Structure 1
Amino acid sequence: MPITMTTAQRVRAALRGEPVDRVPLCFWHHFRPQGSGERLAEETFEFFKSKFDLDIVKIMPDLPYPEPEEAISDVSQFQSLPQLDLDTPVFQEQLRCIRTLRMQLGPDYPLILTLFSPLTYLFNFMGENFSGKQRVIEGARQQPAAIEKGLAIVAANLQNLMRAAIEAGASGIFFSCMGATSADFTPEEYRRIARPYDLEALKGAQGGWLNIVHIHAAPSQDGDDIHFEQFTDYPVSVLSWSDRVTGPELSEAMELTSKCLMGGLWERGPLTHGSETEIENEILSAITQTKGHRLILANGCSIPDDTSEEPLHIVRRLVDQLS
């Protein structure tokens, strides 16, 4: 093992479960690129590379998948979602962002594009609130044909975008999945309704080496459990979730999968407002639970955009000292 690894060497070793010089680190929040891929690339490079020198550069979903032109008020409308090609302006801006960052970072630096699952986009189209999400869930149970048609359309669009993203220079896709929680669908329902379209979309990411599934549980859903084991056979290298908010703990997950784990930092805990001792304890806990193997130290969900940078700098410094 080299005394000091490059970021790519470090992350690749973590994926394989091999020794690392220190645990890989990543954290993130959202930006406001105002529709510009160049602007998003600029803000992304400044935060991930210039300011914190993190091991993974994560392009946030701040150039969002296009909303339908007609507001969705009934699940039957999902059958008429548009098929989007790569000339779609926001897709072009995402690809421009990837190409710009790849030129700046060089050929090997881990670079991932954040996209949501087809089901997550349907939730968003119905309205980013609890009632809209519940209408999609009930629609999936009562009008499955309409939901499945919409999922298929979005999955095909995402597959093409993912393939183009990898070709443009992304190392992989950070694929965030909502709905796989005890507050939403049962494990059997998620497997039947959402999984086929998750897998269809992910076919576009086959050329990437750093594909990550994030299993999302809303912070407001107290006591919500994710269906972690539904994702252990997804064609990705890494599983991400808010392990400090919902189960399983990292130590439990080590027994449930051979994939690399991404977590250990509570996005609304010490990472955002804790003392140095609290931050150190959280880092040490994650490293102890995994013995520092198969771990990318990261927050679960995005940290608040107005978070002070002081605890982030503490995290960055401590990772070098403690690993």
Structure 2
Amino acid sequence: MDKIDRIKAALNSEEVDYVPSNIWMHYSAADQDPRTLAEAQTEFAQKYNFDFIKLMPFGLYGVQDYGAKVKIFNKVNEPPIVADYGIHEIDDWGKIDVLPGYYGTFGKQVQLAQHTAKLTQGKIPFIQTIFSPLTNARKLAGDRILWDMKENPKLVKQALQAITETTINFVKANIEAGVHGFFFATQCANYDFLTEEEYLEFGQYYDLQVINAYKDVTYFNVAHIHGDNVMFDLIEKYPVNCINWHDRWTSISLTEARKRTDKCLLGGIREVPYYNQKNEVIRESLLVSGTVSEVEEHVIEAIDEVGGRGLIIGPGCCSDQLSTEKNIFAVRRGIYNSSLVKLS
């Protein structure tokens, strides 16, 4: 099986020679230049023989063109942060217009896809990271968006529609660049931020417009549900063929998720540190602090949870950039050493 066949088989819950995998993380020392980032991600995937690439544009690429001031550090484990929001008062939502997919910072991420297509030469699937319209709106305004949604929902929805159409333009440009799918991330579909009724009104309506723009065009389409207390049952019904969430530290495990959906599950690796009851870090993430045997057992356990079918091994979100080489290799060893390996 080549990487494309292996990914397609996993997406369709068909038999694989071994469970496909990938580890992704931010490249905060290299993600401001699309060619450098494409080279770093392709080299990483080839070094560890991963089965796909999740493109990792910096997390604020969707709001810089809308006026958010972004502070960039260009250092390992120091991703860009919002230095000043683009929305300061409610009337600012009315200034949000539809942008071309090739414009500004969006355009640099299209270049990232173009460079990756050249480097991979059709031998490894790669998917572009996109954020839900409400997620970008929240990054643009901060949590004041909650007040604005109540004070003038019509104006906020007008802005969300513009962001939606910009995202669709970006999607189309990435399809032209050769991506095989999209990693659609929502950071707002959790009950700690919104009620389900609020998410249906301000989130899902716009999410589905974006996903419907590519669902019948690309074959590898992931929905990522960020945070704790997530709306799994709501997002699982989206027209995607793969679901990713923090399965190792939220209440919905791989085993429970398999009972709720027959879609491919992407996860199995705990990407965050371990905390005590006081929310103090007592141990760094497994890929940083674990032993090789611990990582291998961690991966084998995940594979066993779902019988190895309809599964792609990966983190619940971005892994620590200080993840060790031995532990990243141990992820592959765990897959190879699982009872389900059928290498010819």
Pair in the same fold by TM > 0.5: yes
Structure 1 residue 202: Cα displacement: 1.7
Structure 1 residue 88: Cα displacement: 0.7
Alignment of 1:1-323 (within 5 A): 5-31=1-27, 32-33=29-30, 35-49=32-46, 51-62=47-58, 64-67=61-64, 68-69=66-67, 71-126=86-141, 132-133=142-143, 135-206=144-215, 207-217=217-227, 224-268=228-272, 269-322=285-338, 323=341
RMSD (Å), alpha carbons: 1.7
Residue identity opposite 1:287 in structure 2: I
Count residues with an aligned counterpart: 306
The share of aligned pairs that are identical, in percent, is 30
Residue identity opposite 1:47 in structure 2: F
Q: Is the 8 A contact 2:21 2:313 kept in 1?
A: yes
Return the alpha-carbon distance in structure 1 between the equivalents of residues 93 and 332 of structure 2: 44
Name the structure where helix makes up a greater proportion of residues: 1
Return the alpha-carbon distance in structure 2 between the equivalents of residues 292 and 7 of structure 1: 16
* TM-score, normalised via structure 1 length: 0.89
Q: Deviations over 1:54-86 (max 9, x none)?
A: 111111022812422373123432221132113
Q: Is the 8 A contact 1:38 1:100 kept in 2?
A: yes
Q: Quickly say closer, same or farther: Cα 1:204–1:36, change in 2 above 3 A.
A: farther
SS of residue in 1 equivalent to 2:220: coil
SS of residue in 1 equivalent to 2:252: coil
Return the alpha-carbon distance in structure 2 between the equivalents of residues 75 and 199 of structure 1: 25
Q: Is the 8 A contact 2:41 2:53 kept in 1?
A: yes
Q: Is the 8 A contact 2:101 2:167 kept in 1?
A: no
Return the alpha-carbon distance in structure 2 between the equivalents of residues 34 and 187 of structure 1: 34
* TM-score, normalised via structure 2 length: 0.84
Aligned to 1:220: none
Gap regions ≥5 residues in structure 2: 69-85, 273-284
Structure 1 residue 210: Cα displacement: 0.4
Return the alpha-carbon distance in structure 2 between the equivalents of residues 161 and 110 of structure 1: 19
Return the alpha-carbon distance in structure 2 between the equivalents of residues 97 and 157 of structure 1: 18
Residue identity opposite 2:242 in structure 1: V
Structure 1 residue 305: Cα displacement: 1.9
Q: Is the 8 A contact 1:267 1:302 kept in 2?
A: yes
Return the alpha-carbon distance in structure 2 between the equivalents of residues 75 and 293 of structure 1: 48
Structure 1 residue 36: Cα displacement: 2.1
Return the alpha-carbon distance in structure 2 between the equivalents of residues 34 and 11 of structure 1: 26
Tell me whether 107-116 or 141-150 shows the greater mean CA deviation. Answer: 141-150
Structure 1 residue 101: Cα displacement: 1.4
Return the alpha-carbon distance in structure 2 between the equivalents of residues 202 and 11 of structure 1: 20
SS of residue in 2 equivalent to 1:99: helix
Q: Quickly say closer, same or farther: Cα 1:182–1:87, change in 2 above 3 A.
A: closer
Tell me whether 29-38 or 259-268 shows the greater mean CA deviation. Answer: 29-38
Q: Is the 8 A contact 2:128 2:182 kept in 1?
A: yes
SS of residue in 2 equivalent to 1:194: helix
Return the alpha-carbon distance in structure 1 between the equivalents of residues 186 and 242 of structure 2: 14
Residue identity opposite 1:300 in structure 2: G
Residue identity opposite 2:288 in structure 1: T
Return the alpha-carbon distance in structure 2 between the equivalents of residues 159 and 33 of structure 1: 26
Return the alpha-carbon distance in structure 2 between the equivalents of residues 137 and 251 of structure 1: 34
Structure 1 residue 103: Cα displacement: 2.1
Return the alpha-carbon distance in structure 2 between the equivalents of residues 77 and 9 of structure 1: 47
